[in-house]
Structure 1
Amino acid sequence: MRDTCMLGPWLRRFLVDYIVTERRLARNTQKSYRDTFTLLLPFISAKIRKPADRLDVEDIAPTHVLQFLAHIEENRGCSVQTRNQRLTAIRSFARFVASRDPARLAWCAQIRAITTKKAAPQPITWMTRNEMEALLAVPDRRTPRGRAEYALLLFLYNTGARVSEATRLQVSDLQIGRHGDNHALVTLCGKGDKIRQCPLWPRTENALGELIQRRANGDPVFLSRHRKRYTRFGVYRLVERCAARVPTLAARSITPHVIRHTSACHLLQAGVDLNTIRAWLGHVSLETTNIYAEIDLEIKAKAMALCDAAASRPDRPWKEDKGVMAFLNAI
């Protein structure tokens, strides 16, 4: 009976059996949920003066959860989006426990009654074509390391791939060196193990072809300078380091996801329809891709404003137009 109260066994079943085996959620989701409880358990342990290993399920009380959410915002300086993400993990755990133990339905209802905060949407950051080309020009392609870094940056721009998709890429996922009118292709494994294919530009094909020479099909495509598979942190560090050397990007926060946004915006500006961009990026819903349409509308609005400002003015000022009142009364 005591085992059903202990928090530890429930967390193990939730993070290993439920998240991975039953739901088949992404590895990053599992890590995010794990990070939530890595922060939550010591916080509650300190509040009720009880070792984390001895915590019960119902020690995750609604009042403690609310205090924890306030703590990560006020003391840890996290954003509202991060606060809501942590709450999502806790609610998911409560729902999991209640589905296996109906006696805790009331506790689950109290946890799930905690509301998310409304957060202002984050502005989409992206780069112009000149800025993207300047970023690609940073690696020294006269060296093997520079050519590898250039290939990775170009691949992210070409495909709009997520970091996890790029780091998991294997040689067998590439179809390059095809003859005739067959384009080079890459097969990407995205969120929820969803598979999609993206065409590769000739320069991307050439850069990758040089990179994977003498490698087996099961080998990673992108290797760090230590000849090991790139990590998520390694890709972020590469992008940040290269962006710092571009004057127009040095003061901005440039991440691999900004390159993904850049790829989508450039496709839209080139006249590619939203549904094709959705498939290109691996979005499940078209609503996610619509954010890029809003960016394009802003560009069009600025262009319209410029055209309007350049329009010729009437020969006579408004006050001299004697027929304006008659015109308004006639409507």
Structure 2
Amino acid sequence: MPDLAILGPWLRRFLTEHIVTERNLARNTRKSYRDTFSLLLPFVSRKARKPVDRLAVSDLTSGHVLQFLAHLETDRGCSARTRNQRLAAIRAFARFIGSRDPALVEWCGHIRAIASKRSMPPPVGWLTRAEMEAMLATPDRKTRRGRSEYALLLFLYNTGARVSEATQLRVRDLQIGSQNGAHDLATLHGKGGRTRQCPLWPETERVLVDEITGRAGEDAVFVSRLGTPFTRFGVHRFIERCAAKVPELAGRTITPHVIRHTTACHLVLAGVDINTIRAWLGHVSISTTNIYAEIDLTLKANAVALCEVGQPRPARSWKEDKDLMAFLKAL
């Protein structure tokens, strides 16, 4: 079998060269692509009755891909959004092959013709100010560990940072103790290698100073009880533990991303314009940020009041200006 017909070399080039060097995709996106093919190849191998390392490009048929997508939803319990995410990785792989081998353009077209499934975005979950304050009160600040956990929770609320941005934060990324009235800042490294700076509240600055005292610039700001940098999983578990201690949050799923949504919603309620919130959260497009302008009933009620039926309408002064109407007719 010619090398060009074997799936393995194509996949290695795609994962190690194309998405890293040519497209410079974010690390989490690369991991998502890797996980997609870690699930797909064994599935196709069983269907084609071939070892994974002997699979040909032609074995990855549109029929097998559709069966794989159905398997994700029915057997693995994945949502339509996850299904579409896996399909996007497969499409990108097909486009990569099709653009480099004219003989496989038709195969590429069949794969890329698979439609995404329509999915409704999940409702945005967020906490009221009272609920957020109850979360902040859960760490025992009489202990060193409790103060560290409080610092992490307050930082997430202050900055609206993604969990990956918080776990990657280093001491050198903090500009605190500023003089001449300058703001204390945290530099966050977000998606796609983009960075942004978020101002810190005085309380956040105070607890972070206590947290990083005596550490080197390359050290992680937030560390676990074992002294190692927090992982994404560790932060998720920590937020779940805090939420479990708040009776008002019983039965609700609280994640670090809910804290991020909470920051955005509280900024909206404070009257901060949506473009500033976009920059605060590190969104590329303002359309992503617009969801926060739609979730609060208070804002919707105020909008309805502006167009309430029965309110007196302003006088149509241009109709009553007889001289102006005569002027227009005379032209």
Fold conserved (TM > 0.5)? yes
Equivalent in the alignment of 1:283: 283
Q: What is the Cα deviation at residue 20 of structure 1?
A: 1.5
Describe the shift of the 1:151–1:168 C-alpha distance in structure 2 as closer, same or farther (beyond 3 A). same
SS of 1:295 mapped into structure 2: coil
Give the match for residue 187 of structure 1: 187
Q: Distance in 1 between matches of 2:190 and 2:271?
A: 25
Distance in 2, matches of 1:249 and 1:45, equals 45
Q: Which moved more, 1:265-274 or 1:288-297?
A: 288-297
Indicate whether 1:197 and 2:197 are aligned.
yes
Deviation of the 1:302 alpha carbon: 8.7
Within 2, Cα distance between the matches of 1:24 and 1:256? Answer: 26
Shift of 1:102: 2.0
Q: Percent identity?
A: 68
Task: Name the structure 1 match of 2:220.
Answer: 220
For 1:92, what is the secondary structure of its paired residue? helix
Deviation at 1:244, TM superposition (A): 0.9
Matched length: 306
SS at match of 2:19: helix
| 1:250 shift after superposition | 2.4
Cα deviation for residue 103 of structure 1 reads: 1.5
Aligned to 1:88: 88
Report the Cα distance in structure 2 between the residues aligned to 1:241 and 1:25, rounded to whole angstroms.
33
Aligned-CA RMSD value: 1.6
Query: Which string of whole-angstrom CA distances, capped at 9 and with x for unpartnered residues, describes residues 248-279 of structure 1?
Result: 11210100100000000000000000000000
Residue 235 of structure 2 corresponds to 235
Bigger drift between 197-206 and 180-189 goes to 180-189
In the alignment, structure 1 segments of 5+ residues that lack a partner are: 309-331
User: Cα deviation per residue 1:227-262 (whole Å; 9 max; x = unaligned)?
Assistant: 111111111111111111111112101001000000
Contact 2:294 2:300 in 1 (8 A): no
Partner of 1:228, secondary structure, is: coil
The residue identity in structure 2 corresponding to 1:120 is: M
Higher mean Cα deviation, 171-180 or 293-302?
Answer: 293-302
Q: Which letter does structure 1 place at the counterpart of 2:26?
A: A
* 1-structure distance, mates of 2:109, 2:303: 51
Partner AA of 1:220 in structure 2: A
- Name the residue aligned to 1:258: 258
Q: TM-score, normalised by structure 1?
A: 0.89
Give the match for residue 269 of structure 1: 269
CA shift digits 1:154-189 (9 cap, x unpaired): 111111111111111110000001123111001111
User: Match for residue 58 of structure 1?
Assistant: 58
Secondary structure at the counterpart of residue 209 of structure 1: helix
Which runs of 5 or more residues in structure 2 are unaligned? 309-331
What residue is the counterpart of 2:319 in the other structure?
A: none
Which SS does the other structure have where 1:4 is aligned? helix
Q: CA deviation at 1:47?
A: 1.0
Partner of 2:313: none
Q: 1:197 to 1:250 in 2, by over 3 A?
A: same
Q: CA deviation at 1:58?
A: 2.0
Other structure's SS at 1:183 match:
coil
TM-score, scaled to structure 2: 0.89
Deviations 1:91-127 (A, max 9, x none): 0110111122222111111000000011112100000
The amino acid that maps onto 1:71 is H
- State the alpha-carbon separation in 1 of the partners of residues 207 and 267 from structure 2: 21
> Which residue matches 2:315?
none
What secondary structure sits across from 1:197 in the alignment? strand
- What is the rounded CA distance, in whole Å, between the counterparts of 1:208 and 1:9 in structure 2? 48
Within the alignment, does 1:8 sit opposite 2:8 as a pair?
Answer: yes
The CA distance in 1 between the partners of 2:191 and 2:121, in whole Å, is 22
Give the structure 1 partner of residue 134 of structure 2: 134
Q: Is the 8 A contact 2:176 2:184 kept in 1?
A: yes
Moved over 4 A (4+): 302-305
Deviations 1:125-162 (A, max 9, x none): 00000111111111111112111111111111111111
Q: Secondary structure at the match of 2:124?
A: coil
Q: How does 1:138-217 map to 2 (within 5 A)?
A: 138-217=138-217
Secondary structure of 1:187's partner? strand
**Pairwise CA distance, 1:300:** 3.0
Question: What does residue 245 of structure 2 align with?
Answer: 245
What's 1:31 paired with?
31
Task: Name the amino acid aligned to 1:141.
Answer: R
Separation of aligned partners in 1, 2:102 and 2:136? 56
